[in-house]
Structure 1
């Protein structure tokens, strides 16, 4: 086979770093929308073949194949010319309805016995088979490919089942030329060829294997042969790029498949990305989309299960981490013995653990891929990579509010430089104010912006104030344009409550950055929060009056925002003398949100259409979603510079003194949860990144 010339690796020049790319990709991804858990992975080959050019004015390209493979053309008593005549006779006979020779030809391509060799095993033949005979038929069938019509689908299936990766280099190269010849005959054959090759992504194992008569082929050798074939076919038939993208999407491992299955498949995807750089954006989007899917599944699984199951999963992860450090070989059952009440619970715990380990491994791999690019975070290459990452974040990660860890890819690399911080903040603002975006996506952007501002230690004080000022401007404008509001309604005014809740969240973490330092008394110690308690502080212009105006408005944001964030804000704002909101909180206890609810029931629809019962007050509150809550995956967290980049929650113990001491002490003992929880945190990251 003629040598394949590699494609140029030269990258196009980039726009200046200050230029922000559009978030939506100009060319829609071939992958399209991701399917749900019950997606059908049985690919319609004819449907895929329609992706190939089918213009009646163009003839299909004729591909010439070389037989000069440095192989012996006479093997035993069989010559290449004999095999060509035999193959031609079988195909012509099949076209006339005589299938005796045709069936015999199919049998020659039947899967050969495979075996694993023991070290030192004698390589002597143990039967009368001639393993090299098949090579002659591969070459002969390649030369007769034009005779393979639609009626030869049975032979094509037999050929594609051949164990070609487990033989030697000469055989694999000849077989690749046969695949190319088949692909040139008709589009459906090409789709079947690519489908067979993508199936190999999940079949190649780490151990060596072979067929009788051949030296064992290692997993790496098989991978190299497979991707040599893919590169060759995609260079001959460029339209195959659309087919391969649909195939790798459809055949991606299920979320319940093992970590090894996922990592092996992703390894193949990254090899394909290296061979065909033009597929890189789609491949990275695919990997991210499946990682997000795992992330969301795990969040929902742990939310919907009992606390004992969650505790068992955490113990298993901790035990696995300890085992990797000290070499302990104790099994999972001993770790779970206190938690397991039934076989079903054991199965769930092990499944959750497997998913978490898979998610952790994939995220760790992605960190390792991106990290070298950001060694110089202001370089053109780093800015380009971050803009690509932002595009994937906007299209894949952001719409999924239950994602808990995947978004840390953006968080981690955004904080590498002020320029990248600005790019991320600018992207979130663009999405939050983009009129064509769905409301749920715009609210998610607001939550991300508030969480990034609160948690990102390298978000400067001036940026915190600008973001808080923008939030204040929005809620004031919204209040002024909704004077006919009857009362609080989270479904009708969700965007307003998202901004208000985000503002409270930012205040709880970054209240010191909302003070005008130039007007502060010199007695304040910025490293000692207690020195601020009870002081008349010069707050950012308009903060106090504008908050008060919105709190007392009919929109009543304190009633609709998360009670736990409202409570924490109330305590801080009272002791810091910003605003006293306890009277409004007490008044809200008598307000029933369901009376203002404007769901489908209120407009004449069925009650079940609204998705929840109106008399359940918790469903009428804004969902708590702050995506940069503490990162808890044990392996991939090594990439996060938590002490220097992450602000953990610090409770001010001085607030527990005085008249509220008993009540506040009870609050201090409660553990915070992501949904319906206090801002207090009890995680492994509490001792890292404390804000000062």
Structure 2
């Protein structure tokens, strides 16, 4: 360290008198100064202490912490008086890339970080340029000592100047999207793994959040605004969602908001895929899913993607983008299944209850109001079947939403479809639950019929949309769970042999048979309004099981022409929205859509989570097959989830009595 020269006067040296001349007089050079009288000495002499170590710093990186601290303090004080030279030098040290030849070594930069921490009160609004240099500093890949000092600087900065909270949180959250390269480090820093970089980001964020409970209120909108755009890559979406799910683990006050945010963004991607699928031919849908499955394990570089994009025409580019969207949805769904499974598999009843309540809240506020959501609801479908209690809670939630008179009709209709689809397709839904739901639906159906039939002049979807939604829910659920409705002496379901050789009429649960008969042959005529594919299949199965014989009514319905009601018109909006969104024309616009939200799940990677949860369509044993019936191939063939038994268009036009596979009633575009 450079020592200060000693300023002690030498013995025998006397300062010049006050009255002496200021003009320097040069004595003869051959005289010895020591022999001069004291009054002739005109200047002060300086001597050096021989015991003080005097050396010159050959390397600026050897500055002591005390010297750096004094340098920083003086620079900030001078900057307050508009002397910016030292201030700018410190700022430039922070913004150098670690790999730059002019960049300071990490050990020296750490001293500046510590010095800035000690002078945080001086970093007011006038020092915003220096503060932003601190925030943008390449800190993530340096050694552990530097990272700890930098983390402490950020926390001290936010405690004294909370106005910098948003820039600091934005810096950290942006690393969820794109993590800096591990190569951005000084040569004196040890190598570091990319996973460790990600951990450092979370450690820093957690360290800051512990400072004040109010920090999370700043973080929530930043997580939402930074969420990847729908057009961003699959890798970007997966990486970001993984990170914010990790945040929900150590910031429980944001857990609900984070899970809802992910669900909301995912539903939008899901719906956009269905909208795009509507514009394609039916065979293209199967091709896109098949190509997505083939590409699931292939990774293309960005350069390859750009070059291939330039060589495609408009239609090919659209197909490619749609395939990428399907792959993106598939990857994120797989990630969410894995995330929730880690909670349900632990068996902690409190965590399971809290998580399932969060899923039910997301269902009611995000999924249910979104028309044509196709895949996201399967999170509820899967995890509600993990225990009888959760099954009843989900069915109860759908029932409450379907019959709550305070809710819009459109939501009640959708909730009825969810309820019917859940009990029809849920492999783990028990017989008692199925029968309880049938009792509930039959009760409400009969109540509506009694109230509406006296003034009914004919079938009208717009007047009686809720009634027809419940009717179709019962028809659909009957086609899948008819076995649970047959009453046996010992309470066990009939075997296939008992069913085939049973000669007398079956005994049906409670008043299911009578209630459906009264309603089907009422003035409301639900078989005319319900989706032809479901009506046709129900007619064949009901006849084979000696439940109801409705073929004469179907023939009569062919001669009934539906027209727009001139009365109250669109009283519930069901028909209006279906017609607008599905582009139905003619009489099809007056029929109920064959939409059941738990129809076949086709995403190739994430479908593995549902392999044991799903009831596949199977015909009744002993019932003769007809043209249009499709065997249950989707259970064994991953590429043929939507079979091609395409009699739907003919059955919709002619209401033919030919059988139709219900797994084809709704496909990926439904």
Q: Is the CA contact 2:382–2:610 (under 8 Å) kept in the aligned structure 1?
A: yes
CA distance in 2, matches of 1:610, 1:630: 23
CA distance in 1, matches of 2:92, 2:163: 22
CA distance in 1, matches of 2:214, 2:601: 42
Structure 1 partner of 2:590: 620
Kindly indicate whether residue 359 of structure 2 is the aligned counterpart of residue 410 of structure 1: no
Structure 2 partner of 1:563: 532
Kindly indicate whether residue 323 of structure 2 is the aligned counterpart of residue 353 of structure 1: yes
Change (3 A) 1:527 1:383: farther
Structure 1 partner of 2:65: 80
Change (3 A) 1:406 1:597: farther
Change (3 A) 1:315 1:215: same
Kindly indicate whether residue 254 of structure 2 is the aligned counterpart of residue 279 of structure 1: yes
Matches within 5 A, 1:426-505: 426-482=396-452, 483-505=454-476
Change (3 A) 1:548 1:89: same
Kindly indicate whether residue 564 of structure 2 is the aligned counterpart of residue 595 of structure 1: yes
Structure 1 partner of 2:617: 649
Change (3 A) 1:670 1:213: same
Length-normalised TM-score, structure 2: 0.76
CA distance in 2, matches of 1:180, 1:602: 58
Moved more, 465-474 or 620-629: 620-629
Change (3 A) 1:281 1:135: same
Structure 2 partner of 1:518: 489
Deviation, structure 1 residue 171: 1.6
Q: Is the CA contact 1:498–1:622 (under 8 Å) kept in the aligned structure 2?
A: yes
Length-normalised TM-score, structure 1: 0.74
CA distance in 1, matches of 2:212, 2:406: 38
Kindly indicate whether residue 512 of structure 2 is the aligned counterpart of residue 543 of structure 1: yes
**3-state SS of the aligned residue for 2:410?**
helix
Deviation, structure 1 residue 204: 1.0
Q: Is the CA contact 1:377–1:416 (under 8 Å) kept in the aligned structure 2?
A: no
Change (3 A) 1:614 1:295: closer
Change (3 A) 1:621 1:271: same
What root-mean-square deviation, in Å, do the aligned CA atoms of Structure 1 and Structure 2 show? 4.0
Q: Is the CA contact 2:96–2:103 (under 8 Å) kept in the aligned structure 1?
A: no
CA distance in 2, matches of 1:648, 1:614: 28
Change (3 A) 1:433 1:311: closer
Structure 2 partner of 1:577: 546
Q: Is the CA contact 2:330–2:604 (under 8 Å) kept in the aligned structure 1?
A: yes
CA distance in 1, matches of 2:119, 2:180: 34
CA distance in 2, matches of 1:259, 1:363: 11
Kindly indicate whether residue 481 of structure 2 is the aligned counterpart of residue 506 of structure 1: no
Deviation, structure 1 residue 507: 0.9
**3-state SS of the aligned residue for 1:164?**
coil
Deviation, structure 1 residue 481: 1.9
CA distance in 1, matches of 2:570, 2:329: 40
Structure 2 regions of 5+ residues with no counterpart?
A: 1-58, 631-642, 653-659
Q: Is the CA contact 1:111–1:161 (under 8 Å) kept in the aligned structure 2?
A: no
Structure 2 partner of 1:237: 212
CA distance in 2, matches of 1:305, 1:487: 36
Q: In the TM superposition, what whole-angstrom CA distance separates every residue of 1:62-106 from its partner, at most 9, and x where no partner exists?
A: xxxxxxxxxxxx973533344334334443444444444443333
Deviation, structure 1 residue 379: 4.9
Structure 1 regions of 5+ residues with no counterpart?
A: 1-73, 116-125, 686-692
Structure 2 partner of 1:141: 116
Deviation, structure 1 residue 230: 0.8
Change (3 A) 1:330 1:159: closer
CA distance in 2, matches of 1:563, 1:104: 78
CA distance in 2, matches of 1:189, 1:330: 37
Deviation, structure 1 residue 466: 2.1
Deviation, structure 1 residue 208: 4.9
Q: Is the CA contact 1:562–1:623 (under 8 Å) kept in the aligned structure 2?
A: yes
Change (3 A) 1:208 1:443: farther
CA distance in 2, matches of 1:100, 1:407: 61
CA distance in 2, matches of 1:469, 1:609: 28
Q: Is the CA contact 2:97–2:184 (under 8 Å) kept in the aligned structure 1?
A: no
Structure 1 partner of 2:361: 391
**3-state SS of the aligned residue for 1:405?**
coil
Structure 1 partner of 2:663: 681
**3-state SS of the aligned residue for 1:415?**
helix
Based on CA coordinates, which of the two structures has the bigger radius of gyration?
2
Change (3 A) 1:343 1:269: same
Change (3 A) 1:301 1:662: closer
Q: In the TM superposition, what whole-angstrom CA distance separates every residue of 1:418-476 from its partner, at most 9, and x where no partner exists?
A: 22222222222222223333332222221111011111233222322221121111111
